[in-house]
Amino acid sequence: MLSCTFDPLTRSLASTGAARHVDIVCPHLAPGLEYLLAQGSTVVEVNRMAWSLIDLDIVLDKAADPRSLPAIVGEDAGAETWVNFDPHYPLAHGLVCGACRQALAWPHQRDPEDS
């Protein structure tokens, strides 16, 4: 099982265990990660070179709808919300920073109002 610690001052996300690694979370997503961890989310996966446009994808076990997060962790911080409904992949949503090529992701259930 993956175990991570996040230091908001240095923005370092340290993975422990067999695959030790330290990633620096971009300044636009770091407030969001700090907030979500304080709300009880847990990092369950860290993917490097995750998508064609994302170099670091931090996957959480749970979190609220990204549209309901405080402004300090969303668009005011430089991040945008995103959602994936592609049936080829697990349903997920979260925050993304296109400038720094990083994302926070967590699972969601499809809402009939979303399309």
Q: Shortest CA distance to 106 belongs to which of 35, 31, 43?
A: 43
Arithmetic mean of pLDDT, 26-51 = 89
Any domain includes 101: yes
Any domain includes 23: yes
Residue 8 three-state SS: coil
pTM as predicted: 0.83
Question: Burial letters for 63-76: b for 16+ Cβ neighbours within 10 Å, e otherwise?
Answer: beebeebeeebbee
Arithmetic mean of pLDDT, 86-100 = 88
Any domain includes 115: no
* CA–CA separation, 62 and 44 (whole Å): 10
Residues with Cβ within 8 Å of residue 7, at least 6 apart in sequence:
14
User: Regarding predicted confidence, which is higher, 58 or 68?
Assistant: 58
Any domain includes 32: yes
- Could you list the residue range(s) of the whole structural domain that residue 87 is in? 3-107
- Total domains, the chain: 1
Residue 37 three-state SS: helix
